[in-house]
């Protein structure tokens, strides 16, 4: 299991990115993950925003909490779930959803690299091909 405590033991941004990389095997995001996540965040929005603030403050507003990678003002900060959460995690209120040890601050481009790049081989074929119906949860 990946965790924030494990992540911060790695000194460089590249090592942290490799540690977090999901290599396109996200699964959940192609099975309605975003839809359920957004639904959850909407119903618990105030709570999520307070958790999100705590993560950003803990990470000093830095990309993957790297002290030399401060996220510029005006650049959207994304709070990423280190171990991807599932719909079950949301229903069961798993600590993976709101636990600070499963969350880290990042930027949109780093977030895309975490989810969709094959960091080890840097092969563009690792990109997930999106099809019109691939967010349909019952498929
Ligand atoms: Zn993410």
C-alpha closest to that of 108 among 54, 66, 132, 72: 72
Distance of CA 108 from the midpoint of ligand 1 (Å): 9
List average pLDDT for each run of 10 residues in the chain, which is 139 residues long. Answer: 97 96 63 64 80 97 97 93 84 88 95 76 45 52
Distance of CA 41 from the midpoint of ligand 1 (Å): 14
Distance of CA 11 from the midpoint of ligand 1 (Å): 21
pLDDT value of position 122: 42
Distance of CA 61 from the midpoint of ligand 1 (Å): 17
Distance of CA 93 from the midpoint of ligand 1 (Å): 18
pLDDT value of position 26: 55
Contact 61, 77 (CB under 8 A): yes
* Residue partners of 95: CB distance under 8 A and separation at least 6: 102
pTM over the 0.85 mark = no
């Amino acid at each position: 299991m990946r965790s924030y405590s494990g992540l911060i033991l790695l000194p460089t941004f590249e090592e942290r990115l490799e540690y977090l990389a999901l290599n396109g095997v996200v699964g959940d995001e192609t099975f309605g993950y975003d839809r359920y996540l957004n639904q959850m965040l909407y119903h618990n929005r105030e709570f999520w925003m307070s958790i999100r603030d705590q993560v950003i403050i803990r990470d000093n507003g830095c990309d993957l909490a790297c002290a030399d990678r401060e996220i510029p003002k005006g650049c959207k900060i994304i709070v990423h779930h280190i171990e991807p959460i599932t719909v079950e995690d949301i229903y069961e209120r798993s600590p993976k959803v709101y636990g600070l040890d499963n969350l880290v601050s990042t930027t949109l481009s780093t977030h895309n690299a975490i989810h969709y790049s094959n960091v080890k081989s840097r092969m563009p074929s690792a990109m997930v091909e999106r099809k019109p119906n691939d967010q349909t949860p019952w498929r």
